[in-house]
Amino acid sequence: MSETRFITTQALAELTAELLAAGTRVVAPAEAADGAVDYQVISNAKDVVLDERMPRRSLRGFFQPPTEQVFTWNRTDSGFSLKPVDLSTEPWVVLGARPCDAAGAAAIDAVMNGEPKDDLWMRRRETVTVIGLACAAMGPGCFCELVGKGPADTTGSDILLRPAQGGYIVEIVTPRGQAFVEAHSAKFTSTDAEVQAPPKRYDPAPMDRIEAWLEANFNDEFWQELSLRCLGCGTCTSICPTCYCFDIVDEPVGTSAGARRRNWDTCQVGLFTLHASGHNPRPEQTNRCRQRIMHKFYIYPHRHDILLCTGCGRCVVACPTGVNLPEILTGIAGRAGEDTTMGGPA
């Protein structure tokens, strides 16, 4: 499906206002109180920010909130009862998803949609229409092309908006996107406008070689070197569009009631894998740094044939000690015997 339309900036704002007026939940980039841009639930179409500023955090939290209730329980004299959360979800819209964030959520579907299906995740995925926004410029950490994606990648978007003079060229990607455009057909016009070539920074890394190297080099000294500057803070995993690991905990209220919650977790802390006996299969930061890289570039591709990284670059920008995924991938490619000149910022 590669049908294209055009929507003016004005028509897009009107469309957003109409969605909001109809009671549709719309999530889009908007300025936070401190002036930075975050994906937020929008209440006014004017708040939507579709400029070059990358939202600080990924879309993960809208599909898997940092903490969410799974069920509540209650113990009374007449017995014990358990009340599951209401899983019904109204159709909703993400407007202005960066291609890396749209692709990130789609990558996680592979594990969540496997049997038995994770309905807490999938109910939000199955009801969303993702309107992606192609990037007009590279952000400071961006490396999407290195992992085989790109500033105009359509993975995970139902519709992709590509900035053009006076508005956006609209690429219809999925049947859901087609249905959305048809439902609001008055806002879209036909077009023969040319899309601008997206910005470019990297050539794709040899991901097959990298995956093969990772499979064969669990004990390489590379992991020690990598971990020496890692503080184990887990910031990289909390802003990542493809991290999904979680904890399940109880939150009692007194002794007769409580809730079970699912919370974000991170592979970067020792408690993640600590056994009750005190034994820990990943006792050192070296093991945990390795797990992050292995999961994204070997384990997940091995199991699901999808890379668990979309090159959003947030981890590169946010890491307090400068752990840098493009450098790591380049380093591994070098060890795997590949040409290491993959471009990148001068």
Partner 1 sequence: MNVYEPYLMTIDDVIDETADTRTLRLKFQDESVAESFDFRAGQFGEYSAFGAGECTFCIASPPTRRGYLECTFKSAGKVTSALRDLNPGDTVGFRGPYGNHFPLNEMEGKDLVFIAGGIGLAPVRCVIWNVLDQRDKYGKVTIVYGARSVGDLCYKRELQEWSERDDVTLWQTVDPGGETPEWKGEVGFVPTVLEKAAPSAETACAVLCGPPIMIKLTLPTLKKLGFEDDAIYTTLENRMKCGIGKCGRCNIGHVYVCVDGPVFTAAQLAALPPEY
232 contacts 288 by C-beta, under 8 angstroms = yes
> In the complex with partner 1, which residue's Cβ is closer, 73 or 92?
73
Contacting residue, 105, 120, 144, 161, with partner 1 by CB under 8 A: 120
DSSP code, position 299: I
Question: Of 287, 285, 252, 257, nearest to 76 (Cα)?
Answer: 257
Q: Which helix (H) or strand (E) holds 79?
A: strand 79-84
68 contacts 261 by C-beta, under 8 angstroms = yes
- Residue 223 interacts with partner 1 (CB under 8 A)? no
The Cα 97–Cα 101 span in angstroms is 6
- Residue 258 interacts with partner 1 (CB under 8 A)? yes
Instruction: Return the range that interacts with partner 1 (CB under 8 A); candidates 31-39, 195-203, 265-273, 332-340.
Output: 265-273
Rg of the chain on CA atoms, in Å = 22
> In the complex with partner 1, which residue's Cβ is closer, 229 or 302?
302
> In the complex with partner 1, which residue's Cβ is closer, 143 or 244?
244
- Residue 228 interacts with partner 1 (CB under 8 A)? no
119 contacts 175 by C-beta, under 8 angstroms = no
The Cα 180–Cα 26 span in angstroms is 14
- Residue 265 interacts with partner 1 (CB under 8 A)? yes
The Cα 303–Cα 281 span in angstroms is 21
Contacting residue, 124, 149, 162, 282, with partner 1 by CB under 8 A: 282
Question: Of 337, 336, 335, 324, nearest to 146 (Cα)?
Answer: 324
Instruction: Return the range that interacts with partner 1 (CB under 8 A); candidates 9-17, 22-30, 84-92, 318-326.
Output: 84-92
Question: Of 307, 326, 292, 268, nearest to 140 (Cα)?
Answer: 326
Instruction: Return the range that interacts with partner 1 (CB under 8 A); candidates 40-48, 142-150, 274-282, 325-333.
Output: 274-282
- Residue 212 interacts with partner 1 (CB under 8 A)? no
- Residue 219 interacts with partner 1 (CB under 8 A)? yes
Contacting residue, 13, 193, 233, 299, with partner 1 by CB under 8 A: 299
Contacting residue, 3, 303, 334, 343, with partner 1 by CB under 8 A: 303
Cis before 252 (ω within 30) = no
Interface residues with partner 1 (CB under 8 A) are 70-71, 73, 75, 80, 82, 84-85, 87, 111-112, 114, 116-120, 215, 218-219, 244-250, 252, 255, 258, 260, 262, 265, 267, 272-277, 279, 281-282, 287, 291, 294-295, 298-299, 302-303
